[in-house]
Amino acid sequence: MSFTSLLPPPKRESKRKQVDVKRVEAERLLSALNKDKVIEESIDEQKTKSDPAIQIASQVNFKEFVPLRQQNFGLDVPLPSQERIDETYNKTRSFLQKLVSKDQQKKLSSVNKPDTININSQTIQVTTRQQDPLQPNIHRKSAKIYTPQLLENNAPIPTLHTEAEKPSKEEREKWKIPTFVSQWKNQKGYTVDRAGFGTRTGEPGGISGKFIELSEAIEKVDMEKRREIQLKYEEKKNLMEKEVKIKEDKLRNLAERARYHGRKQDGHVKKETSVVEQSSRGNILVERLKELAYREGRDVSEKVILGTAKATKQPELNYDSRLFIKGASTQRSENQVYDNPLFVQQDIDSIYRTNLNKLDDMVENTNDEGSVMDRVTREVKGGQQERSGPVMFTKAEDQLSSDKKKSFGLEKESK
């Protein structure tokens, strides 16, 4: 059984007619078999005689289905003789002339005697308009006719096709479009590749040049700032050094003065001592101090004693300021712009969300102040006392109106 046999019959009439014909034939045969209805039979006989299909069928012979040339390939089928051609020519020509003359007669008669029609005592003459037989074509060309290049030298070349090669597996893979991933439910964790990075190939897609410009600019500013800081630090160091020097000088002066005064008290002569004497006297002092130190178990150099010794030079230590910055513990790289994420301290997930636990607590401890609902609504709207998230800005007018409303509401409540 084919599928089409299950379909309803077509709506066209012709099929039904055929079926009707079959049914009629069947009825005819049945009635023919019925001897009781003699009259009908006779009528049917007449019908069968007049039915052209049955007449033709009765004339059809088995031999007509046999090819004539099978018996004799040399069977001649001569072209029609000239006489026959002439005969048919004359016959058809006269017939056609008759046809044409009939038309002409009609025309002539209509020209000579115009038809008249009487409508409500009005007579109307119907005449055919005279037409010029050489009149150009009435039927105008409605469409533009394509005219090819008529120069034979640069005749148009027919378009040729190239056999399309079958794409390889890789190429097919490239053209494959990943199925759409819903933004709302992403259970399998697909990512949408927005920046144009091919997820498969890992090649960077088209990134706009502005990103590079931005990072370059930031780096430049960063370097400048660092140089400034360096300069400031050096300046400070210089100042400090100067200060230290001044202090040292002062101290040394003081010490020298004290030493001078002490000498003065020893005797007047000391004033006019020669350089040699002075040195010998210094040597004595040194020796004395040495003795003192030795007694105490220390070894002191002359320079220290004289106060000319300098502090031992320690290597300069430049601490990177970043060491002391808070986020220094996180790994740093050259390209990193910020050392901290923006919302480190806050719980990002709950910025825009009402803290239900807090609400619960509040509901539990409602006894302190106001109605429960008031507090809840305040919390939900982001009450002013406890805000956990960035400030939401509103338009001035809105705020005014909301203030009014609020005041109205408060009034009602207070009443």
Partner 1 sequence: MDSYDGENPLLREIDDFYSEIRWNNQFKYMGKLPSYLEDQINERKPILEQNDPFDIQEKPLSTALIPLDNTTRDVAGESLLDRYQKLITQEPRKHNPWKLSKVINGHLGWVRCIAMDPVDNEWFATGSNDSTIKVWDFASGKLKLTLSGHVMGVRDLVVSKRHPYMFSASEDKLVKCWDLEKNAPIRDYFGHLSGVHTVDIHPTLSLIASAGRDSVVKLWDIRSKKAVITLVGHKSPINSVKCTPADPQIISCSNDTTVITWDLVAAKPMKVITHHRKAVRDIAVHPGEFSVASCSTNDIRSWKLPEGSLLTNFESQNSGIINTLCVNQDDVLFAGADDGTLSFYDYRSGHKYQSFKTKQMPGSLESERGILSSSFDMTGLRLITGETDKSIKIWKQEFDSEFEELPWNPILSSQRF
Tokens representing 300?
Answer: 């002191």
Among 96, 218, 239, 351, binds partner 1 (CB under 8 A): 96
- 155's CB contacts (< 8 A; 6+ apart) are 149
Of the pair 95, 260, the CB lying nearest partner 1 is at 95
3-state secondary structure of 123: strand
Task: Name which of residues 135 to 174 contact partner 1 (CB under 8 A).
Answer: 137, 139, 141, 143-148, 150, 152, 155-163
- CA dist., res. 379 & res. 362, Å (int): 10
Position 92 contacts partner 1 (CB under 8 A): yes
63 binds partner 1 (CB under 8 A): yes
Closest CA to 322 of 225, 217, 221: 225
| 8 Å CB contact between 389 and 351 | yes
Does residue 10 interact with partner 1 by CB under 8 A?
no
Sign of CA dihedral 399, 405, 407, 409: negative
Of 1, 6, 7, 30, which one interacts with partner 1 (CB under 8 A)?
Answer: 30
Q: Please name which of 386, 368, 381, 367 lies closest in space to residue 409, comparing C-alpha atoms.
A: 381
Binders of partner 1 in range 216-245 (CB under 8 A): none
**Binding segment for partner 1 among 89-97, 170-178, 218-226, 358-366 (CB under 8 A)?**
89-97
| Minimum CB–partner distance for residue 335 and partner 1 (Å) | 56
Q: 92 vs 238, which CB is nearer to partner 1?
A: 92
**Cβ atoms of residues 343 and 357 within 8 Å:** no
φ and ψ at 118, to 5 degrees? -105, 115
Interface region with partner 1, contact rule CB under 8 A, candidates 27-35, 39-47, 266-274, 368-376: 27-35
* Cβ closest to partner 1, residue 117 vs residue 143: 143
Q: What number of other Cβ atoms are within 10 A of residue 48's Cβ? A: 15
Applying CB under 8 A, does 24 fall inside the site for partner 1?
Answer: no
- Is 76 among the residues that bind partner 1 (CB under 8 A)? yes
Considering only residues 285 to 344 of the shown chain, the ones binding partner 1 according to CB under 8 A are none
Which amino acid, 337?
A: V
- The SS3 call for residue 164 is coil
Instruction: Classify residue 388 by burial, with Cβ atoms within 10 Å: 0-12, 13-18, 19+.
Output: middle
Phi/psi at 317 (nearest 5 deg)? -115, 115
Q: What span, in angstroms and rounded, lies between the C-alpha atoms of 28 and 50? A: 14
Q: Which is nearer to partner 1, 93 or 387 (CB)?
A: 93
How many C-beta atoms surround the C-beta of residue 266 within 10 A?
10
Query: Nearest distance from residue 20's CB to partner 1, in Å?
Result: 16
Q: Does 19 bind partner 1 (CB under 8 A)?
A: no
Kindly state whether residue 80 participates in binding partner 1, applying the rule CB under 8 A: yes
CA distance 15 to 212: 77
Nearest distance from residue 201's CB to partner 1, in Å?
34
State the minimum distance, in angstroms, from the CB of residue 25 to partner 1: 10
202 binds partner 1 (CB under 8 A): no
Would you give the end-to-end CA distance of the chain in angstroms?
88
CB 6, min distance to partner 1, A: 24
Per CB under 8 A, which region of 95-103, 226-234, 266-274, 305-313 contacts partner 1? 95-103
Residue ranges that bind partner 1, judged by CB under 8 A = 26, 29-30, 33, 62-80, 84-85, 87-89, 91-93, 95-96, 99-100, 137, 139, 141, 143-148, 150, 152, 155-163
